[in-house]
Amino acid sequence: MPTVVLMDVSLSMTRPVSVDGSEEFQRKNLAVHGLNMLFEHMASNYRLEFTSLMAFSSLWDLLVPFTRDYNTLQEALSNLEDYDKTCVESALQGVSNVVQQEWGSACPCQVVLVTDGSLGIGKGSLRHSLQTLKHRGDDKKFPLPFPFPTKMYIMCVANAEELQMTDAMDNLEELLRLSGGDGQIFSMEGPLCMKSVQAMFGRLIDYAYSPFHAVLHCGNLSSDVQVFPRPEPVVLDEEVEPMPRSVSTDLEIIGFIEIGDISSPPVISRHLVLPIAVNKEVDEVGTGATDELEEEPSASQMAGKSPNFCVLLHGSLKVEGMVALVQLGPEWYGMLYSQADSKKKSNLMLSVFDPGAEPLPWLGKISHLGPVSEAAENPYGEDDNKSPFPVQPQVKRSYAQNVTVWIKASGLQTDVQKILRNARKLPDKTQTFYKELNRLRKAALAFGFWELLKGVADLLERECTLLPDSAHPDAAFQLSHAAQQLKLASTATSELVKNGLIYNSLYLCGPRWRQHLFVLNIVRCL
């Protein structure tokens, strides 16, 4: 989940902070200090996050495009200049543009807005933006909510009392609500100083940037892992299940499935699963600081060299072309697989399915997937040439069952012509003739389309009169019989209709009729 840091560089940010004695700070300095702390944290604990830095006043400027290079971000922070007034709306428009340009409109994004809570004056101020919200044309819409899912963190270099004296807090709350409500407003506690700004950014880090650690289990084999980015809680149905569901910190493998069987399933998010060395020895490794410094490289080397289950699992998944089905919580599942990037580096990846008992119709209920060993006969076959997947639905879909639809005239014409073509080839085509005739008749009865039955009866009688002398005597017999039955059906009472379907199929043999004219094939251009 990429992060955009949106830094207020309006003049009000240069307001000095009264500190007893010593040095004098501006609010900007405090903000920069806090952001530096955030970037340092990310560099060491969340380094795969893409972050960009934007500064805004009445205009906005993308200082650092999305990057994982936190040095660049910190450097840009140290070169901030001061500009005019705060205009949040245009800055948010900028965020919207920058994010969509880079990640499209489906990728969830975090926005860290750093401001002092003085939100501009007059036109362009947040107050003005919110007041005019409802009186806008389509061409001047407020940028919130963003098209992409957003988490908005508003960092105020001001304390709550200060914000509540004006309508700043109300406006910021409205802003958060407009963004979709996912996020938080942070303000400073106590006097404005380095310590309290640290505390505020510390709360942000705990809230949004703490790494997600979990244990991956496969029976008794296990590995400590970091899941990146953090899996987000999901709300299923606001009405029936309003509580958000979170991914468990114990990821339990249930079993394994071939890639071909799981077949590009839809997922709600993807995450890297990175094995980590949880170093519980740290406390016991003596007290000397110098010792620790020297220990570090060898400790990470050791971690690289002691066998880790993730690496084993990844290697085998890759070689075998399989995925591991993993349980993430009650009725919530995902899959682990090897993902290779363009540079031939590969990694263990977790894809999270939609929460629920049956995320993929072609697997059936996940809780009803059991071990192969229980089956009387190996469903994968002795030579590994079969598969129990996909699970077949009980009812065929309309396109798989030759339904009758006559909404367009062509549908009806085709069906009638099919019958006539077969009628001309009686008695050879008796079986198909009756099959098509019964299909038409069933549909005509359901639709109450008795006029059609009469019409087709007339057509069959006409065909009877047009039979050449050389025709088989049975042809005439079948045609007149069918015509009679159709006429009977079209005048019947409903009781007769129920039982009156034509069952007559005297000749059940004969070659299968092929619809030469009407078969289309998709051209294979391989």
Pairwise CA distance, residues 125 & 122, whole Å: 6
Nearest Cα to 109, choosing from 229, 212, 4?
A: 4
Please, which of residues 233-252 interact with another protein by CB under 8 A?
235-240, 242, 252
Closest CB 89 distance from another protein, rounded Å: 12
Query: Smaller CB distance to another protein: residue 79 or 264?
Result: 264
Buried b (16+ CB within 10 A) or exposed e, 468-485: eeeeeeebbebbeebbeb
Q: Out of 7, 54, 216, 366, point to the residue binding another protein (CB under 8 A).
A: 366
**What's the closest the beta carbon of residue 323 comes to another protein, in angstroms?**
7
438 binds another protein (CB under 8 A): no
143 binds another protein (CB under 8 A): yes
Cα separation of 71 and 328, whole Å?
35
Q: 300: how many CB neighbours lie within 10 A of its CB?
A: 12
Compute the half-sphere exposure of residue 221: CA atoms within 13 Å on the CB side of its CA: 10
Among 332, 353, 433, 434, binds another protein (CB under 8 A): 353
What phi and psi values does residue 342 have, to the nearest 5 degrees? -60, -25
Smallest distance from another protein to CB 189, Å: 33
Output 135 or 161, the one with its CB closest to another protein. Answer: 135
> What's 237's DSSP letter?
B
Residue from the set 259, 471, 476, 502 that interacts with another protein by CB under 8 A? 259
Q: Which is nearer to another protein, 178 or 322 (CB)?
A: 322
* Cα three-residue angle 518-520-525, rounded to 5 degrees: 165
148, 108 in Cβ contact below 8 A?
yes
C-beta of 405 vs 506, nearer to another protein: 405
Among 123, 134, 135, 408, binds another protein (CB under 8 A): 408
- Residue 341: closest CA among 277, 442, 270, 282: 270
Considering the rule CB under 8 A, would residue 100 count as an interface residue with another protein?
yes
273 to 332, contacts with another protein by CB under 8 A?
A: 274-278, 280-281, 284, 294, 297-298, 301-317, 319-325, 327
Q: How many other CB atoms are there within 10 angstroms of residue 194's CB atom?
A: 16
Q: Which of residues 441-470 bind another protein (CB under 8 A)?
A: 442-443, 445-452, 455-456, 458-459, 462, 466
Residue 177 touching another protein (CB under 8 A): no
Closest separation between CB of residue 17 and another protein, Å?
Answer: 36
User: Which residue do the tokens 């807090």 mark?
Assistant: 169
- Please tell me whether residue 395 binds another protein under the rule CB under 8 A: yes
Those residues with Cβ within 8 angstroms of residue 437's Cβ, 6 or more apart along the chain or in another chain: 419, 456, 482, 486, 502
Q: How many residues bind another protein (CB under 8 A)?
A: 183
Q: Which range, of 122-130, 173-181, 393-401, 467-475, touches another protein by CB under 8 A?
A: 393-401
* Distance in Å, CB of 176 to another protein, minimum: 18
Binder of another protein out of 356, 381, 472, 504 (CB under 8 A): 356
Angle at 213 between CA 207 and CA 42, to 5 degrees: 55
Is residue 220 involved in binding another protein (CB under 8 A)? Answer: yes
* Contact criterion met (CB below 8 Å) for 83 and 58: yes
Output 16 or 393, the one with its CB closest to another protein.
393
Rounded to whole angstroms, the Cα distance separating 33 from 493 reads: 89
Shortest CB 475 distance to another protein, Å: 16
Residues in region 49-88 near another protein by CB under 8 A = 50
